[in-house]
């Protein structure tokens, strides 16, 4: 279990360190870049408390927060879900490992800044492309977010909830059976569609009622499929337990759905995936573009003119 958790943690941190590598390369040549004063001020202002120093260079709280924010946002995790994750004891270990990555990246960045690697034309080009990509994505995301309304997201929710967001409530009663003979007798009654409840009463075995949702059974696919397949009033079992075996009666199934607020961030991410390309195409189509062939301007495409002339016939 420990190795599995460690692998998951490092997979998570590896994804973060890829993006950190991009930003650290940019920082390494910051003195030689054409970055404006406004950009520098935007990065430097309100960075929060110092959480570490590497060779005297400070790492600020805002840096750590930013990577965590992006990580949760990219997975469509809302504030309530994030709070539960951060309360998990394993999260503290993941956060500690992320800090190790931040510190290691800063140490490497400092060494890179002392070298002449940033003067390599290939490296400089990669940094420019990454910087341009970050700027473009941020700008398009900002424009797209301004277009996406809660009303639109609520409509999207209504459109897909019947198929993708079902989370029915399941009322059950669980019976613990210690005797293997009693367990066998109950199993025979289940197979024969007999009166299992009457037999439990005869055996003086009382049950414990509970209500769960289908999402609660995600960790146990076999139980989830059994619950889905079992009609109201019928039993599942025997299921091995510490004290013998367990029988579960499915008392009631109530149609229900994941709340809008729980899936809002995911719906927003889906809407952004659709809206961003539309905005990008709109901006591209408005641009005055000249392409060159062998150092000479190529003829501009006349497809738009042909399209307009076609309407006149």
pLDDT bucket at 73, cuts 50 / 70 / 90 = confident
Give the span between the Cα atoms of 251 and 197, in whole angstroms: 11
Give the span between the Cα atoms of 208 and 195, in whole angstroms: 18
Q: Where does residue 1 rank: exposed (0-12), middle (13-18), buried (19+ CB within 10 A)?
A: exposed
Please determine, for residue 289, whether its predicted confidence score (pLDDT) is greater than 80.
yes
pLDDT of 44 reads 54
pLDDT, mean of residues 226-251: 94
pLDDT of 213 reads 92
At residue 171, φ and ψ (nearest 5 deg) are -95, 125
CATH (one of 3.40.50, 3.30.360, 3.10.50, 3.30.160) for 171-254 = 3.10.50
Please determine, for residue 124, whether its predicted confidence score (pLDDT) is greater than 80.
yes
Residue of 34 and 201 predicted with greater confidence: 201
**CA neighbor of 175 nearest in space, from 130, 235, 109:** 235
Instruction: Render the burial of 29-67: b for 16+ CB within 10 Å, e for the rest.
Output: beeebeeeeeeeeeeeeeeeeebbebeeeebbebbbeeb
Residue of 299 and 156 predicted with greater confidence: 156
pLDDT, mean of residues 272-288: 95
Is-contact 62 70, C-beta < 8 A? Answer: no
pLDDT, mean of residues 93-100: 89
Please determine, for residue 39, whether its predicted confidence score (pLDDT) is greater than 90.
no
Domain residue ranges in the chain: 2-119, 121-166+262-288, 171-254
Is-contact 279 144, C-beta < 8 A? Answer: yes
The top-scoring range by mean pLDDT among 36-40, 211-215, 295-299 is: 211-215
Is-contact 207 249, C-beta < 8 A? Answer: yes
| Of the listed ranges 17-21, 158-162, 207-211, the one predicted with least confidence | 17-21
Q: Is the pTM of this model over 0.75?
A: no
3-state secondary structure of 247: strand
Please enumerate in sequence order all residues whose Cβ is within 8 A of that of 63, keeping only pairs 6 or more positions apart, or say none: 47, 102
């Amino acid at each position: 279990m420990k190795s599995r958790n460690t692998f998951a943690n490092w997979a998570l941190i590896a994804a973060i360190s890829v993006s950190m590598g991009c930003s650290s390369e940019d920082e390494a040549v910051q003195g030689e870049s054409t970055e404006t004063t406004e950009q520098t001020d935007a990065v430097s202002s309100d960075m929060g408390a110092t959480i570490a120093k590497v060779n005297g260079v400070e790492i600020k709280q805002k840096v750590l927060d930013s990577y965590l924010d992006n990580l949760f946002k990219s997975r469509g995790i809302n504030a309530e879900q994030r709070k539960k994750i951060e309360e998990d004891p394993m999260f503290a270990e993941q956060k500690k490992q992320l800090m190790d990555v931040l510190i290691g990246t800063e140490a490497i960045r400092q060494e890179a800044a002392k070298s002449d690697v940033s003067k390599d034309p290939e490296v400089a080009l990669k940094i420019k492309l990454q910087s341009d990509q970050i700027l473009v994505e941020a700008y398009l995301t900002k424009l797209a977010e301004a277009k996406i309304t809660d009303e639109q997201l609520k409509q999207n929710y209504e459109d897909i909830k019947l198929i993708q967001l079902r989370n029915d409530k399941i009322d059950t009663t669980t019976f613990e059976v210690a005797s293997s003979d009693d367990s066998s007798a109950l199993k025979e009654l289940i197979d024969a569609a007999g009166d299992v409840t009457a037999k439990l009463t005869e055996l003086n075995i009382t049950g414990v009622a509970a209500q769960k949702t289908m999402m609660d059974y995600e960790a146990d696919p076999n139980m989830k499929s059994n619950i889905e397949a079992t009609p109201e009033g019928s039993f599942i079992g025997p299921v091995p337990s510490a004290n013998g075996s367990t029988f579960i009666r499915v008392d009631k199934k109530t149609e229900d759905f994941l709340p809008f607020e729980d899936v809002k961030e995911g719906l927003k991410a889906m809407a952004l995936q659709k809206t961003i390309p539309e905005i990008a195409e709109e901006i591209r189509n408005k641009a005055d573009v000249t392409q060159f062939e062998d150092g000479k301007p190529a003829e501009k495409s006349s497809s738009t003119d042909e399209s307009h002339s076609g309407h006149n016939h």
